[in-house]
Amino acid sequence: MDKIFPKDTIKNTADSIGITNLKDNAAAALALDAEYRIHEIIQEANKFMRHSKRTKLTGEDINNALRVINVDPLYGFTLNDNFKFQRTLAGQQELLFMDDDEYEFESLITSPMPKLPAEVTYTAHWLAVEGVQPAIPHNPPPPIEDTIPESSRKKAPPNAIVQVPNGVVTGTSDIELKPLVQHVISQELKVFYDKVTKTIKGGDSKMKVSVLYSLQHDTGLAQLLPYFVRFICEQIGQNIKKNTIVESILEMTNALINNTSLRLEPYLHHLVPAILTCVVRKKFGPDPDYHWKIRDSAALVLAKICDRFGMEYNTLQPRVIKTLLSALTDPTKSLSTHYGCIVALGALGREVVKTILVPNLKTYSEILEQRKKVDKNKAERCENAILEILPKLKGSSVPTDSIQKSQISDEDLQQKLADKIGVHLAKQVMDKIGDNEVIMATLNC
C-alpha cells in the first residue's frame, strides 16, 4: 500500500504545515485514509466523465466530484486547462511541478478590459402549425429528396393549404405533394406474421405451441409488435360473440407479455381495454359454459399486465381495480360480469383481496342473495369463486389485538363474520371452508 501512496508524502505534507516528528505508524494510517479518499473522488469524477460522454478525465470532473462529497473544489483548474508537469530531483527523490507563467504587472494594468458577455435572452416560435413545420430560421430546413419519380408525385388540388418557403400559408396548385412514408418490414417478417395469425386463428395444436414459444422467447419481434397488438384487439372485437379463438388470442397476449425483449408500454392503452372486455362483458356467445374459462384466462393476463407494468405506471392497477369494483357492486350487471370481476380481483394478489374485495363483500352478499333466486347456477359460480379466493388470505399479518377464535363460540364467530362479509357468504364460509386461519384472516381484514 505504501508503494501506491507512500507515508513519506504524508510526512512532507505535515512538515509543510508545521507538524514535525510525525510517527511512522500515524503517517501510514493517514496514507491509507488519503488513498481511500482519492479513490472515492476519482470514482465520483469518473461518473461525471461517463455521463458527459467523454473518455478523458478533466479538472472540472474532479471539482464536481468534490462538490458531491461536500469538499471545497480546487480553484484554478478549469475544464480547458492542459497542464504540463516538469520533473526535478530533490535529493534522491523525483518531484513533479508546474511551471508558473510570469506576467508583467504593468502590462496587466494597461491591457484593455475584456468584452462583457451578452445577456441571457429567450424567444418563442412555432415548431409546427397543424403538423406543418414553418420555414423560419429557428427550425431546421426540410430534407431535400429528389429520389421520388415524377409519376408518383401528385399535384395539390386548387386552393389547397400548403406551406411555402417564407413560412406563409397560402392556396396554390403549383405545389407537388409527396406520398406518405409507410412502415416497411422485411419479407421474412411478413411470412412470420402470416404464419402466426393463421395458426392462432385455427391451426394445428403442435404448430400453435411452437408459435407461442416463439412469441415468448424471440428477441427480434419489435417491428411486428404493433401489428400483433392490432391483430389482438381486432380479433377480440370480432370474435367475442362467437367464442371461437378468444382463448388463443389470450394465450398469444400472455406470450407477448412474457417476452422481456418487447416494449409493450406504448400499446397498453389498446391491450388493457381489450382484456377487460373479456373479463366484464355480459355475454360472450351461444356456449353457456365456455365463457367462464375465458374470464379466468383474461383475469390472469390482466393481473400479469398490472404486475409487470404497475411499478412504471402507478395509475394502471388502481384504474383497473376501480373498473372491476364498480362493475362488481353494480346490481344491474349480470352475474357473469360479477364472476369476471371476482376472479380478476383475486388474481391481482392477496393485498387487493384484503383491502378491496373483502371490505366490499358485505354489500355484494346482499346482491348475490337476491340474484340467487333468479339464476342459481351463476350465483353459485360467484360464491365458489369467492370461496376459492379467501384462502389466499392465509399467512397474512394478524394484529396483536385481533379476535382470537378460542375466545368465542362458533355462533358468535359466524355472527362476526356475517357483520364482515354478509350473512349469506358467512354461512358459506363456515360450512364449506371452515378453516380457522382463513376465518380469522377474513375478520382481520
Which pLDDT score, from 0 to 100, does residue 162 have? 45
Report yes or no: 87 and 94 within 8 Å, Cβ to Cβ: yes
| Rounded Cα gap, residues 255 and 266, in angstroms | 17
Which pLDDT score, from 0 to 100, does residue 60 have? 85
Nearest to 217 by CA among 267, 278, 261, 152: 261
Reported for 209-218, long-range contacts at CB under 8 A and 24+ positions apart, including other chains, are 212/251, 212/252, 212/255, 213/255, 215/252, 215/255, 215/256, 215/259, 216/255, 216/256, 216/258, 216/259, 217/259, 218/259, 218/261
Which pLDDT score, from 0 to 100, does residue 410 have? 67
Q: Which residue has the higher pLDDT, 166 or 205?
A: 205
Which pLDDT score, from 0 to 100, does residue 402 have? 46
Cβ-Cβ contacts under 8 Å for 160 (sequence gap 6 or more): 171, 172, 173, 175
Between β-strands 93-98 and 154-155, what pairing exists: parallel, antiparallel or unpaired? Answer: unpaired
Dihedral angle at the C-alpha atoms of 168, 170, 176, 179, nearest 10 degrees?
80
Position 239 confidence tier, pLDDT thresholds 50, 70, 90:
confident
Report yes or no: 22 and 14 within 8 Å, Cβ to Cβ: yes
Percent of the chain with pLDDT over 90: 22
Residue with cell string 396554390:
172
Is it the case that residue 143 has pLDDT exceeding 80?
A: no
Q: Which residues pair with 88 in a beta bridge?
A: 95
Task: Average the pLDDT over 396-414 and give the result.
Answer: 57
Residues in the chain: 445
Task: Average the pLDDT over 304-315 and give the result.
Answer: 89
Dihedral angle at the C-alpha atoms of 45, 50, 52, 57, nearest 10 degrees?
50
Render pLDDT for 210-224 as a digit per residue (tens, 0 to 9).
999 999 998 888 889
Q: Domains, the chain, ranges and CATH?
A: 7-98 (1.10.20.10), 187-348 (1.25.40.770)
Render pLDDT for 326-347 as a digit per residue (tens, 0 to 9).
999 888 888 899 999 999 999 9
Report yes or no: 379 and 370 within 8 Å, Cβ to Cβ: no
Position 164 confidence tier, pLDDT thresholds 50, 70, 90:
very low
Which pLDDT score, from 0 to 100, does residue 146 have? 43
Which pLDDT score, from 0 to 100, does residue 257 have? 93
- C-alpha cell read off for 102: 510570469
Reported for 24-32, long-range contacts at CB under 8 A and 24+ positions apart, including other chains, are 28/2, 31/1, 31/2, 31/5, 31/6, 31/7, 32/1, 32/5
Which pLDDT score, from 0 to 100, does residue 179 have? 54
Task: Average the pLDDT over 73-93 and give the result.
Answer: 69
Is it the case that residue 280 has pLDDT exceeding 70?
A: yes
Report yes or no: 417 and 375 within 8 Å, Cβ to Cβ: no
pTM of the full structure: 0.57
Is it the case that residue 54 has pLDDT exceeding 70?
A: yes
| Rounded Cα gap, residues 55 and 381, in angstroms | 65
- C-alpha cell read off for 19: 507538524
When the pLDDT of each residue in the chain is averaged and rounded to a whole number, the result is 80
Task: Average the pLDDT over 297-313 and give the result.
Answer: 91
- C-alpha cell read off for 4: 501506491
| Rounded Cα gap, residues 442 and 416, in angstroms | 10
Render pLDDT for 116-135 as a digit per residue (tens, 0 to 9).
888 888 888 888 777 777 77
E strand map for 130-242: 154-155, 160-163, 169-172, 176-177
Is it the case that residue 104 has pLDDT exceeding 60?
A: yes
- C-alpha cell read off for 240: 367475442
Is it the case that residue 254 has pLDDT exceeding 90?
A: yes
Q: Which residue has the higher pLDDT, 185 or 382?
A: 382
